[in-house]
Amino acid sequence: MAASRARSELTFPRPLTTVDLAIFAVDEESLQVLLVKRSHDTSAFADAWALPGGFVDVALDADLEQCALRKLREKTGVEAPYLEQVGSWGNGTRDPRGWSATHVYLALLGRARELLPGGNAAETRWFLVKGERVSVPLAFDHAEILKAAVSRLRAKVEYTSLPAFLMPGEFTLTELQHTYEIVLGRDLEKKAFRTRIMATDLVEEVPGRMRDGQGRPAQLYRLRSRKRPVFFARTFSGPRS
């Protein structure tokens, strides 16, 4: 007992500790996730596509979230997106280098296109999310992790304003609805959607700013808060059968 306690204090073998990110954005038509190609000269899953992430650096990272923000900055240059922890995955087999645990964060970006490459040498690319997967095999257990992150996002879209964090600075209500529809994978009814959004204080008009297009110009809105989502009392039930 005392021996095992002494052993557990500091000499216990320590798992590898990493942080991984599921970074999402939308384009006109679909949900996308940012992946990086792993280096050619690594001992684990060389050349495979993976969620961006890596080891916690105990010298650099004050805490797990700071570590996630650092990795996000390195990959995208973005400073303060919506960031939420999804959970952690740890076992003895997910990494060939040893027992490892990863802390997974979900990030939502407002503009996919502008952010891309950054000076970082690693190959980085947006992949379309189909169902809960991408078209390439992923390193480690990242396919499972991506599936969980997409599920979390889809589940919360039903009763929160998460898709609002996928919008650029100014947007119309129709554009916001379209983003909801892309993430949910089904259509929503216009009037119900607008009533619901306007019943919260999620967005505010940008006075005088309109989006011109083929028809009547549309009022532009902006988010009141870039950090906290709004929760609805009901889910979107969707069109009736």
Q: Tell me which residues touch a copy of itself (CB under 8 A).
A: 1-2, 5, 8-10, 12-17, 39, 41-43, 54-59, 61-64, 85, 87-92, 97-99, 101, 103, 121, 159, 233-235, 237
User: What tokens appear for 233 in the block?
Assistant: 């009392």
Q: Are 173 and 194 in contact (CB under 8 A)?
A: yes
Q: Pick from a copy of itself, DNA, none: which does 191 bind, CB < 5 to 8 A by kind? A: DNA
Quick one: which segment of 4-12, 28-36, 142-150, 187-195 binds DNA (CB under 7 A)? 187-195
Q: Are 226 and 170 in contact (CB under 8 A)?
A: no
Q: How far apart are CA 183 and CA 232, in angstroms?
A: 17
**DSSP secondary structure of 76-114:** H---S-EEEEEEEEEESSSSTTSSEEEEEEEEE-S-HHH
Q: How far apart are CA 112 and CA 134, in angstroms?
A: 17
Q: Does 208 bind DNA (CB under 7 A)?
A: no
Q: Does 238 bind DNA (CB under 7 A)?
A: yes
**Burial class of residue 44, CB neighbours in 10 A (0-12, 13-18, 19+):** middle
Q: How far apart are CA 32 and CA 185, in angstroms?
A: 13
Q: How far apart are CA 20 and CA 59, in angstroms?
A: 18
Nearer to a copy of itself, 74 or 175 (CB): 74
Could you say which residues in the range 151-180 bind DNA, by CB under 7 A?
172-174
Binding-site member from 188, 202, 223, 230 for DNA (CB under 7 A): 188
CB of 162 to DNA, least distance (A): 16
Nearer to a copy of itself, 25 or 107 (CB): 107
Binding-site member from 70, 125, 156, 194 for DNA (CB under 7 A): 194
Q: Does 214 bind DNA (CB under 7 A)?
A: yes
Residues that bind DNA (CB under 7 A): 172-174, 188-196, 199, 211-219, 232-234, 236-240
